[in-house]
Structure 1
Amino acid sequence: MRIEKKAACLAAAICTLAFLPNLSGAADDPAPVATTAATSDATTDVDTIVVTGNEESYTVEDSAAATRLGLSLRETPQSVTVMTRQRLDDQNLQSLRDVLDQTPGVYSYQYDTERVLFTSRGFVVDNLLYDGVPVATNFSTDSIEDALDTALYERIEIVRGATGLTTGAGSPAASVNLVRKHADSRTRAMQFEFTQGSWDDRRVDADISTPLTADGSVRARVVGAYQYRESYQDLYRSEKWLFYGVVDADLTSRARLSVGYDNQENTPQSNTWGSFPLFFSDGSQANWSRSVTTSTDWAFWNRRFETAFSELRYQFDGDWALRSTLSWRRNQEHNRLFYVYGYPDPETGIIDTSDADAGYGAYAYSDRAKIIQRALDVYASGPFALFGQQHELVVGYNGSRTANNSVAFEPDDLTDPVNLFDWDGSYPEPTFDAGSRLSDIDTKQSGIYVATRIRLAESLKLIAGVRHATWKIDSYYLYDTPADSRYDYEKTIPYAGLIYDISTDYSLFTSYTEIFKPQNNKNESGQYLDPIDGRSYEVGIKGEHFGGRLNSALTLFRTQQDNVAAAVLDEDGATIKLPDGSDVSRPIDGTVSRGFEFEFAGELRDGWNASLGWTRYLIDDADDDAIRTFVPRTLVRLYTTWTPPGALKRLTVGGGVDWQSESSTQVGAPGGGATLRQGAVTLVKLLARWQFTPDIALQLNGNNLLDDKYYVLDEFDNTYYGPPANGSVSLRVSF
């Protein structure tokens, strides 16, 4: 089905829900927009296990993201950032990459237009959760999926550092928890948003809630979006279609059942695969326009994400609660890609692709892939009394099985020359064969865990837990040697933290946990490297101000790891490739990451929201040599908004600055490798919004307003330019 037809079907479904008769018989009075929960008295006994707080704030009262215990940010002995719905709307953050690019301590880079990775504290972020339930990472990057749309979520919680207690295997970078919107409104509520941005970026959003019964005990919510956009990079264009529906039913005053489904399709065309050459054949450095591309008019990389889930929450006597979630997730992709390698002539811009032996050439690739994950998550939590004090306990299990299957299609040889001075994407499309089995990888992961908060004294609390995790892989991959392999890992992961209240506003904390992560990186034989193993320590001070409206934290951390993957380079400084095109890696023992993170977020006063993150880290190998130098060591993220009182109360103005320190990476160059250095980068953002009525608002956003030209570096010689100055205008209408 064409994407236009799908968009029409989405619009029809949304309009049907928006304008069908009120099945519940409830009043049709206008309701606030359905972007925040509206909990009723009939369901106050049901443990919703969600963050609470002011929906117009940049902070929250509590979160269970780090330990599954409902703790305030001050009581959580790790660095936690919560991107609230208000923050997502203020900055028009539409994708997960948009969000993480505004998160303190998180840095993104890309292999091409469709493969994006994230790092925190020098390590790749690979832990993604939906409502606390872990899901599989992106197989192409071993990081989390960057293209997920934010329209589905009430907030996004980022816990920096190791989170093995709740996620099992994973890096000590960070975990990202996506908290879905639910049908919490007992009156009908609708919101529509229309956005026009730079490079012909057009988007329509809809968010509709309605009760399905007269008493509101059964409710539905539908979220949909359609987007077409082009890019500052030549040729590129993409369409996105998004649908999410959920029904929440109060079975009794103690039990709530939620059933939901979401579907997102991305269909980019003329996308890149890899990057562009940084040097000419005479060794001089190329200074391309930011619109440079090496893609073709026949390239595409279609992706589809689907999730179905059912969740049951039950409240027992004594404030104990049980939550059980079944989920099914399917990721599909089909691509046709083009890659050119070598160095163009400085006079003609031509790369002679007929001489592959000289290190010049062009290559095409196509595959179809499908990843299906089935998961079960169940846990119980509640208080218990001991030695005259009240404590909390959570006991749980989660397990998943993931099947990864793909077929690859081999092309004819490509010998036509490439002229990058006159490139329009019209390179001849090769003929692909009928396809052959590429991968068949079955992964099972499970874990049993327990965590508790013990009040050792009035001002001293211990948070302790342990998880026993298993990870089994039965793998066939065409380019492995041998193609068939099995891996079976088992690990017990402890967690401990102490919080000491030094005043009514401040607490000292410390925490310790261990690290365990199987990895997809391979050695020169095509075999997976051994799992990453290590330990992580944190210590710091946290504050809670103005009655919890503002939270602050200063964290010092140190992480030690073995078997960390590093790229293997040839004599020219280029990465050595395996037959499937993936990069050869080697394990590094004794890797140490250390640094600090400072953050505050919330309301400084009525109408004034602000968020500041200042992070600094160093990462070295066992010989004290710096590694992963392509990631900036210092990041500063500042954003603030202000709604003045009085006559200008309808106006909101805001802005921010993102600053990153210098960075560098090794890249291929004629006659040997070269070091590409990136200076400090400063990106300025602005916001203006006018609230015509309580239901209608017009918003302007601007990004990189100084039009700073900068590189996005990575470890594998895939270097890109960041986007130039851009902006958007959005009209938001609520009923």
Structure 2
Amino acid sequence: MQYKKASKGESVRRHCALPRLRIVAAMLLMAQAQAGLAQSTDGTDEKADGSAPKLLAPVLVEDEAVGGYVERASVGKVPLTAREIPQSVSVLTRKQMDDQDMVTITEAMRQVTGVNVIANDTVNNQYFVRGYGLGVMYDGVPSYNGMTPSHQLDLAAYERIEVLRGPAGVLRGSGEPGGVVNFVKKRPQDKFGFSWEASAGSWDNYRAAGDVTGPLNQDKTLRGRLVVSNEDRRYFYDHTQSKKWLGLAAFEYDVTPRTTLSLSFVAQDQDVDAPWSGLPASRNPDGNGVYPLLDVPRSTFNAPDWGRMRYQTEETTAGAEHRFDNGWVAKAVVNHRKQNQYYKYAFTSTGVHPVTNLVDYRSFRGDYHYTRDGLDLYASGPFEFLGRTHNFLVGWNTEVYNSKGKFGNGPNFTNIPFGDTSSLIEPTINYASGSESETAQHGLYSQLRLSVADPVTLVLGARTTTFKAKTRNRAPSTPTAWRDGAEADDEITPYGALLFDLNRYVTLYGSYTSIFVPQTQLKADGGTLEPRTGHQYELGSKAEFFDGKLAASLALFNIRDKDRAYADPDRPTDNFYLNAGEIESKGWEAEVSGSPLPGLDLVAGYTRLTTRYLKDRNNQGKDYSIASPKHQFKLWANYRFAPDSDLAGVSVGLGLLAQSKAQSSRGWRDELLNSGYGVVNGRIAYQIDKTYSLSLLVNNLLDRKYYASVGTPSMYNFYGEPRNFLLTLRAQY
């Protein structure tokens, strides 16, 4: 793919995005008119011919909220309340996203209990739970390597985000034990709705979005939804500018009263001028092995302004669901996601010299293309046995991930004064190498929920997975044949849990979950290491109050990540390994979410985490995930004054994000240290009338200066945002 370099203040993307936005805007108006027509012709309980209305089976169960900040989770295929799931799970609802004016996945994940966000560059981040990277599912379909890191869609596309903490091997097959996040896109509704919002914020941050949904025929058997957003913004550091648009179209059709077909397409294009990979640290001035973080203005920008990143994402999802008379449901979902990513920029390759204030740079250029294809088939439902009702789930899924890329290193720039990039003239960089990788896995899974007695539920599950990866060189490198990589055949991951309803409010539970991760290191006999294996034990309690509007949970967990590559002590210079390494991740979590009082919505979560090497040649006894803080606390509360009070229509929100000290996210143990921090955010909103509302969000209310994450002595060290404001006008029809 060829990209034209935009001139100063102009982006190539701008010229192609505006026609698309006009088209989508026209579609929104057409859909609104059609929905209004459908309402006007079907506004009573009887059809125009006087016959009784057609009764349809419910089709929107998964999107029904239990409360403002409480929703059922479908990450386990069957929609369940958090109390019914014997693992730690958090659901970030659409209401909470709007109450906190969230627009990016990073903003959302920062609010989820137990999630640690590590910055990569201006728009890409990594997400860790319990010391490990998160896996990802899109509308319930597993997607390999989708979050580590990968460019994500704007939040305008999503109805909710579900985060399951701990291994999810039964659902996904191979994957790290940290957990999985399920992104659930907005679905068409059977009632007309139209909303839009416009916002303006600090550092020229401008955004507009629209969302229209409703029936597209008289019987409401055909429903549609269209979402569009457009963003043009700068950042608290100098020079960088991002332009992003998104469009989503979704349709559902009831072929019969019990069979529904669905189709959605979403596209996003983001162009970033002068991207940035963070500040360097200071070179070690004392010889003590510690690289001090810089104390400079937070607006400091140390990259050339000719740099550019561009991300294009397209995702198509199709599904079919049939609801049987006996309560069983059969569902098929197929997902195709295509991403193009282009980079050209320079980054610091050394720390800043403490005396001369000089730093070195490297430049590079890359062009990458990713495709992720997934298919998930399952059936679930109740059955009777020994006078009790139980539930069974059986399914099969497959996924294929393909990555193609070409890469070229540009010239190095040495002895550049820190903060002055005027001498970094844009170079011509030719592609020098290329590669392609493909990873495929498929598996059969099942889960049985047995109602042993009125207060006791036994959950048993298992999955068998086949995994295979391969790589090859491709142009501009000399093309080669495929080389086999990591693989596993018929790997079994069992699952078990027991739930005990202490009373009608509280449930106690214990669960066992397992994982496996294929490895590529060689053994002394020439073979490849067997996959990493591991398990998690989790004990906890969950409670629901106020008719399910308030949920609370407490969990203790212990993860053992075993059979890791361990340098062979008998062959210390030959790069041979044994399946002998082991890591432990343990701790506890607590979370409260929902509405404890009329008008009050809140989410609060605390995480205590310890990770360490139990068996390792070089790090035994040391911390494993040094970038993960031992203590993390997150709080958001929003209060709406009563309609009959003097402050009717006013709502106020207050939040806190706090964590203890952490170290480098790139393995620089004891050399890059980040102190703990606490950041307070606030919001005030006013409901002008039934249609319009106005809100003002203030992030970092106390203007705390801190590093949000630290990386290496040369880069990936990012300040948190200074105090900033976002004013948003919303309309809901």
User: Is the Cα–Cα contact under 8 Å of residues 23 and 212 in structure 1 kept in the other structure?
Assistant: yes
Letter paired with 2:195: Q
Letter paired with 1:324: A
Quick one: which of 625, 646, 650 aligns to 1:628?
A: 625
Deviations 1:580-632 (A, max 9, x none): xxxxx999822101100000100112211111101101111114322222221
| Cα deviation, residue 507, structure 1 | 1.0
CA distance in 2, matches of 1:704, 1:214: 49
Q: Per the alignment, in what secondary structure is the counterpart of residue 672 of structure 2?
A: strand
| Aligned residue number for residue 356 of structure 1 | none
CA distance in 2, matches of 1:200, 1:566: 51
CA distance in 2, matches of 1:340, 1:70: 48
CA distance in 1, matches of 2:54, 2:608: 48
CA distance change for structure 1 residues 643 and 46 in 2, over 3 Å: closer, same or farther? closer
Quick one: which of 695, 702, 708 aligns to 1:706?
A: 702
Unaligned residue ranges in structure 1 (runs of 5+): 32-39, 352-360, 568-584
User: Is the Cα–Cα contact under 8 Å of residues 280 and 350 in structure 2 kept in the other structure?
Assistant: no
| Aligned residue number for residue 559 of structure 1 | 559
Quick one: which of 592, 600, 623 aligns to 2:592?
A: 600
CA distance in 2, matches of 1:440, 1:145: 17
CA distance in 1, matches of 2:718, 2:23: 39
CA distance in 2, matches of 1:484, 1:53: 48
User: Is the Cα–Cα contact under 8 Å of residues 450 and 459 in structure 2 kept in the other structure?
Assistant: yes
| Aligned residue number for residue 581 of structure 1 | none
Q: Which residues in structure 2 correspond to 1:287-326 (within 5 Å)?
A: 287-326=295-334
User: Is the Cα–Cα contact under 8 Å of residues 664 and 676 in structure 1 kept in the other structure?
Assistant: yes
| Cα deviation, residue 112, structure 1 | 2.9
CA distance change for structure 1 residues 651 and 273 in 2, over 3 Å: closer, same or farther? closer
Quick one: which of 234, 259, 263 aligns to 2:263?
A: 259
CA distance in 2, matches of 1:94, 1:676: 31
| Cα deviation, residue 278, structure 1 | 2.8
| Cα deviation, residue 688, structure 1 | 0.7
| Aligned residue number for residue 205 of structure 1 | 209
| Aligned residue number for residue 58 of structure 1 | 69
Counterpart check, 1:719 vs 2:730: no
Letter paired with 1:471: F
| Cα deviation, residue 716, structure 1 | 4.7
User: Is the Cα–Cα contact under 8 Å of residues 167 and 513 in structure 2 kept in the other structure?
Assistant: yes
Quick one: which of 95, 104, 125 aligns to 1:86?
A: 95
Larger mean Cα displacement after TM superposition, 168-177 or 267-276: 267-276
Q: Per the alignment, in what secondary structure is the counterpart of residue 412 of structure 2?
A: coil
Deviations 1:659-695 (A, max 9, x none): 10122349999xxx86333222111011111000111
Q: Which residues in structure 2 correspond to 1:594-673 (within 5 Å)?
A: 594-622=586-614, 623-645=620-642, 646-647=644-645, 648-665=647-664
| Aligned residue number for residue 12 of structure 2 | 2
| Cα deviation, residue 41, structure 1 | 8.4
| Aligned residue number for residue 159 of structure 1 | 164
CA distance change for structure 1 residues 617 and 346 in 2, over 3 Å: closer, same or farther? closer
User: Is the Cα–Cα contact under 8 Å of residues 281 and 343 in structure 1 kept in the other structure?
Assistant: no
CA distance in 2, matches of 1:45, 1:529: 51
Letter paired with 1:287: D
Counterpart check, 1:327 vs 2:345: no
CA distance in 2, matches of 1:674, 1:324: 49
Q: Per the alignment, in what secondary structure is the counterpart of residue 137 of structure 2?
A: strand
| Aligned residue number for residue 358 of structure 2 | 350
User: Is the Cα–Cα contact under 8 Å of residues 401 and 445 in structure 1 kept in the other structure?
Assistant: yes
Deviations 1:632-653 (A, max 9, x none): 1111111111111113231111
CA distance in 1, matches of 2:730, 2:566: 47
Percent of aligned pairs sharing the same letter: 26
Q: Per the alignment, in what secondary structure is the counterpart of residue 71 of structure 1?
A: coil
User: Is the Cα–Cα contact under 8 Å of residues 24 and 247 in structure 2 kept in the other structure?
Assistant: no
| Cα deviation, residue 282, structure 1 | 7.3
| Cα deviation, residue 564, structure 1 | 5.7
| Cα deviation, residue 296, structure 1 | 1.1
CA distance in 2, matches of 1:723, 1:232: 7
| Aligned residue number for residue 22 of structure 2 | 12
Letter paired with 2:210: A
Letter paired with 2:100: Q
CA distance in 2, matches of 1:250, 1:316: 14
| Aligned residue number for residue 571 of structure 2 | none
CA distance change for structure 1 residues 441 and 665 in 2, over 3 Å: closer, same or farther? closer
CA distance in 1, matches of 2:667, 2:562: 28
CA distance in 2, matches of 1:680, 1:528: 41
User: Is the Cα–Cα contact under 8 Å of residues 200 and 206 in structure 2 kept in the other structure?
Assistant: yes
Counterpart check, 1:215 vs 2:219: yes
Counterpart check, 1:145 vs 2:150: yes
User: Is the Cα–Cα contact under 8 Å of residues 641 and 651 in structure 2 kept in the other structure?
Assistant: yes
CA distance in 2, matches of 1:452, 1:365: 52
CA distance in 2, matches of 1:229, 1:215: 43
Q: TM-score, normalised by structure 1?
A: 0.87
CA distance in 2, matches of 1:64, 1:309: 17
| Cα deviation, residue 23, structure 1 | 4.0
| Cα deviation, residue 7, structure 1 | 3.7
User: Is the Cα–Cα contact under 8 Å of residues 521 and 529 in structure 2 kept in the other structure?
Assistant: yes
Quick one: which of 716, 728, 731 aligns to 1:730?
A: 728
Q: Which residues in structure 2 correspond to 1:92-241 (within 5 Å)?
A: 92-125=101-134, 127-138=135-146, 143=148, 145=150, 147-187=152-192, 189-241=193-245
Counterpart check, 1:73 vs 2:82: yes
User: Is the Cα–Cα contact under 8 Å of residues 413 and 424 in structure 2 kept in the other structure?
Assistant: no
Q: Which residues in structure 2 correspond to 1:294-693 (within 5 Å)?
A: 294-351=302-359, 361-411=360-410, 413-415=411-413, 417-421=415-419, 423-424=420-421, 427-433=424-430, 435-476=431-472, 484-490=483-489, 491-518=491-518, 531-562=531-562, 589-622=581-614, 623-645=620-642, 646-647=644-645, 648-665=647-664, 675-693=671-689
| Cα deviation, residue 535, structure 1 | 0.8
CA distance in 2, matches of 1:47, 1:520: 45
CA distance change for structure 1 residues 563 and 705 in 2, over 3 Å: closer, same or farther? farther
CA distance change for structure 1 residues 415 and 77 in 2, over 3 Å: closer, same or farther? closer
Unaligned residue ranges in structure 2 (runs of 5+): 1-10, 44-51, 568-576, 615-619
CA distance in 2, matches of 1:99, 1:341: 31
Q: Per the alignment, in what secondary structure is the counterpart of residue 106 of structure 2?
A: helix
Larger mean Cα displacement after TM superposition, 100-109 or 642-651: 642-651
CA distance change for structure 1 residues 483 and 276 in 2, over 3 Å: closer, same or farther? farther
CA distance in 1, matches of 2:13, 2:382: 51
CA distance in 2, matches of 1:657, 1:195: 23
Deviations 1:168-219 (A, max 9, x none): 11111121111111111333x2111001111111001110124321222212
Aligned residues: 684
CA distance change for structure 1 residues 335 and 42 in 2, over 3 Å: closer, same or farther? farther
| Aligned residue number for residue 572 of structure 1 | none
User: Is the Cα–Cα contact under 8 Å of residues 608 and 643 in structure 1 kept in the other structure?
Assistant: yes
Letter paired with 2:677: V
User: Is the Cα–Cα contact under 8 Å of residues 200 and 728 in structure 2 kept in the other structure?
Assistant: yes
Letter paired with 1:600: V
Larger mean Cα displacement after TM superposition, 707-716 or 553-562: 707-716
CA distance in 1, matches of 2:680, 2:520: 37
CA distance change for structure 1 residues 276 and 219 in 2, over 3 Å: closer, same or farther? same
User: Is the Cα–Cα contact under 8 Å of residues 6 and 241 in structure 1 kept in the other structure?
Assistant: no
Letter paired with 1:658: L
Deviations 1:213-245 (A, max 9, x none): 122221221101111111112221111111110
User: Is the Cα–Cα contact under 8 Å of residues 282 and 345 in structure 1 kept in the other structure?
Assistant: no
Deviations 1:29-72 (A, max 9, x none): 999xxxxxxxx9857525556152246x1112x3231x323322
| Aligned residue number for residue 571 of structure 1 | none
